[in-house]
């Protein structure tokens, strides 16, 4: 069952994020700032267990790359323009609970590298640019 989107925002000035509710009534909030990505088991994002948090931009981009590789079926409605938000939110939409979200996000790089048979560090700038271009357009 696909989670229900309660709230979403994709604005460079007002913020980027999404709040979902899973079939078991668990709320999940994704918040993206300039230098960090945070996912919490909370409807408002301030309280609740932290499912994923990354404060290093490079590591967040690696995780977004891995998520885009792993979850090519696009489950989000139109209106999501930021490629990092789209990668994280789309992966969350493929999950059925907050515990699954935590596992998916924290293991994304290792799973993608295992599936692709190469390290994400082996990507050239041209490969990364190609990925960004493809991520901008839903499959």
Q: How far apart are CA 113 and CA 110, in angstroms?
A: 5
Per-residue pLDDT of 124-139, as tens digits, reads: 555 656 655 555 444 4
Do residues 80 and 104 lie in contact, with contact meaning Cβ atoms separated by under 8 Å?
Answer: no
CA dist., res. 76 & res. 65, Å (int): 17
- Do 123 and 109 form a contact (C-beta atoms < 8 A)? no
Convert the pLDDT of each residue in 26-60 to its tens digit.
999 999 998 899 999 987 766 889 999 999 988 99
Q: Show me where the domains of the chain are located.
A: 4-135
Please state the pTM of the whole predicted model: 0.85
């Amino acid at each position: 069952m696909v989670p229900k989107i309660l709230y979403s925002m994709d604005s460079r000035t007002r913020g980027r994020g999404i709040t979902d509710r899973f079939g078991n009534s668990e709320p999940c909030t994704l918040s993206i700032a300039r230098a960090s990505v945070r996912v919490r088991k909370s409807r408002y994002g301030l309280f609740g267990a932290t499912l994923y948090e990354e404060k290093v931009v490079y590591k967040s981009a690696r995780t977004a790359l891995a998520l885009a590789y792993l979850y090519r079926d696009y489950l989000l409605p139109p209106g999501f323009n930021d490629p990092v938000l789209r990668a994280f939110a789309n992966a969350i939409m493929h999950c059925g609970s907050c515990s699954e979200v935590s596992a998916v996000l924290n293991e994304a790089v290792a799973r993608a590298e295992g599936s692709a048979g190469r390290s994400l560090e082996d990507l050239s700038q041209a490969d990364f640019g190609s990925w960004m271009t493809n991520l901008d357009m839903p499959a």
